[in-house]
Amino acid sequence: MNKTPRIILKREKDVGWLQINNPPENYLEQPDFIEIAELKNFIETGIKALVIEGTGRHFSAGADLENLKEQIKDKKAFQDHLMKGNNVLNYIDELEIPVIAAISGVCFGAGLEIALACDIRVCDENALFAFPEVNHFVFPGLGGAKRLAELTGVSAAIEIVLLGDMINAEKALELKIVDALVKKNEAKGYAVDLVEKITDNRPLKVIHAVMRSVNNSKSMSVDEYIKNDTEMFTELALESMIKNKD
């Protein structure tokens, strides 16, 4: 019998959707919740934005603990999965299209790590966030602590990771873990509206350039950044001149 896919990829016009599909909690069966090649193929169909959401009421409660205990028995294989999971999230983080997490319900552990690898996070008022790993004597293994610290500052991030406490939507907004807070069940609607506004009539090249500039601003020296932005600008300007001539 065929199992229902745990991750659903679908394209609606220019927008890609990645749905974590293991309701109700949307547990992730392993750290590499999707094959990077499969995701890459999907992105390369030319989507202009990617929205990540969970099926049903919750985003994702993270790793399935029972399953995890089984997996850890084979240390080498588990390390391999963890490494692949990290590669997937780094890939998502560096994508040159906007990636939006539409969060409702629980967003825990590896679920929160996925959300933190996105560019924009919107949640509804019922959303709950936590890194409960510490309660099981581990820590977020997919770069979540570092990404969290970039948003909240180091001291708040340490508290969240070491206490493992739950954070409600309002607090998450205050701590800058999420960028927007909307009414119950409206996170998806907000994401749909936002992606439409930022991709409509925008050529993919312009979207790539903006996102590259965004990513570069974190990683490059000022001189390098200026050079890169100017090159992208020049290329787009030359293209737009050719178009206007026709």
Partner 1 sequence: MPEIFTGKKISWEIRDGLGFISFIDPPENRMDSIFFEEFGVIIDEIIPASTAIALIISGSGRHFSSGAELEDLFRIIQQKKTDTLISNYELFHSLSQMKIPVIAAIKGVCIGSGLELALHCHFRLSAEDAILGLPESSFGLIPGLGGISKLMEFSGKAKAIELALKGHHFNANDALKWHIVDEVYPKKIVVEKAIQLAKLSAENYRKYNKSDCLKRLKI
The residues assigned a catalytic role are: 113, 133
The tokens of 235 are what? Answer: 């290329």
CA distance 215 to 117: 12
Question: Which is nearer to partner 1, 68 or 148 (by Cβ)?
Answer: 148
Exposed e or buried b for every residue in 191-220, given b needs 16+ CB within 10 A?
Answer: bbebbeebbeeeeeebbbbbbebeeeeeee
In the complex, least distance from residue 187 CB atom to partner 1, rounded to whole angstroms: 14
Minimum Å distance from CB 53 to partner 1? 16
CB of 36 to partner 1, least distance (A): 23
State the minimum distance, in angstroms, from the CB of residue 233 to partner 1: 3
Least distance between partner 1 and beta carbon 118 (Å): 9
Going edge to edge, which strands form the sheet with 106-108? 106-108, 128-130, 167-168
Please name the residue that has the structure tokens 């949307």. Answer: 26
| Closer residue to partner 1 (CB): 63 or 103 | 103
Which residues, 6 or more positions from 52, have their beta carbon under 8 angstroms from its beta carbon?
A: 17, 18, 19, 20, 99, 100, 101, 102, 114, 115, 118
The answer to whether the CB of 195 falls within 8 A of the CB of 100 is yes
Q: Tokens in use for 154?
A: 């180091």
Tokens coding 131: 């890194």
- What does the binding site for partner 1 look like in residue numbers (CB under 8 A)? 98, 119-121, 176, 179-180, 194, 197-199, 201-203, 205-207, 209-211, 213-214, 217-218, 222, 225-227, 229-234, 236-241, 243
Task: State the CB neighbour count (10 A cutoff) for residue 97.
Answer: 22
- Residue nearer to partner 1 on the CB measure, 28 or 99: 99
Q: How far apart are CA 112 and CA 131, in angstroms?
A: 7
Q: Which is nearer to partner 1, 67 or 240 (CB)?
A: 240
Our CB check for partner 1 shows the closer of 55 and 228 to be 228
Are 136 and 64 in contact, with CB atoms under 8 Å apart? no
